[in-house]
Amino acid sequence: MRAQLEPDLLNQPLLEVLGYPLTFLELFGTISGLLTVWLAARANILTWPTGLINNVAFFLLFYQVQLYSDMLLQVYFFGISLYGWWHWKQTRNQPGRAISVLSQGQRMGLALLSVLGVLLLGTAMSHIHRWLPTLFPQPAAFPYADAFTTVLSVFATVVMARKKIECWWLWMAVDVVSIVLYLQRGIYLIALEYVVFLLICLSGLLQWHRLYSVTR
C-alpha cells in the first residue's frame, strides 16, 4: 500500500495514469534514472552528472516509502558518482580502452562480501525504527530484500566506476529484486522503470563486451 504522506510540492499528484497518481518526484526520478542507465550502457561519461540528479530525487522518494536502505544508498551513490565521473575522464576519448573483467578471486570475494553485507544491513534496518525512532518512525519495509538491492548496488557502482563488465550482471540482479520490491510498496512507475533498466542492462552488457573485444 502506498505510504500516507503529508502533502507538499514534491509528492502532490501531477496526473493520473490508468488511475495511478503520479507525483513530480516519482516522474523526475524515473526520467533521470532512465537517462543515467542509458548513458552508462553506452559508456558515456554524462551518466555520472545525470546520476547525481537522480540520487537526490530517489533519496527523497525512498524516505517517503520507508525503504531506508535504498534511501541511504543514494548518499553513497552521490559520492561514488563523483569518483566515477573523475575516473572516466581519464579515458574519455577512448570509451572501450579501460573496460576489463574481474579475476576469479575477485568474483569470489565479491560474492562473500555481498552475502555478509546483506545479512548485516538487513538486520540493522530491521531495528532502525527502535534505535532512531525520531528519524525513522515507521519500521523498514522488507529490510533484507531492500538490503540485497542496496549492497549489490554499492558493489555494482564501484565495479562500474572501474569499468568492469561484471557490473552489468550485478545491476540485473538488483533490477529483478527491485521490480518485485517496488510493486509491493506501491511505487508502480519506479517498478516499471526497473523493467526498462533490466533491458538496458542487457544492452549495456552486450555493448561493453563488444568494446572490450575490440580493444583487447
Of 204, 198, 193, 195, which Cα lies nearest the Cα of 57? 193
Copy the grid coordinates of residue 44.
558515456
126, amino acid identity: S
> What dihedral angle (degrees, nearest 10) is formed by the CA atoms of 162, 166, 172, 178?
-50
**For the chain, what are the domain ranges?**
13-215
pLDDT score, position 12: 62
With 70 as the cut, is the pLDDT of residue 14 above it?
no
| CA dist 216 → 55, 98, 167, 210 (Å) | 34, 10, 19, 10
Q: Mind listing the pLDDT tens digit for each residue in 64-87?
A: 777 787 788 799 889 999 988 988
Residue 2 has pLDDT above 60, yes or no: no
Average pLDDT over residues 173-188: 91
Say what percent of the chain tops pLDDT 70.
86
pLDDT in tens, 116-149: 999 999 999 999 889 989 988 888 888 999 899 9
119 by DSSP, 3-state: which? helix
pTM for this model (two decimals): 0.79
Cα distance between residue 56 and residue 61, in whole Å: 9
pLDDT tops 90 at residue 168: yes
Closest listed residue to residue 46, CA positions, set 102, 107, 88: 88
List own/partner pairs for 105-110 with CB under 8 A and 24 or more apart.
107/166, 110/155, 110/159, 110/166
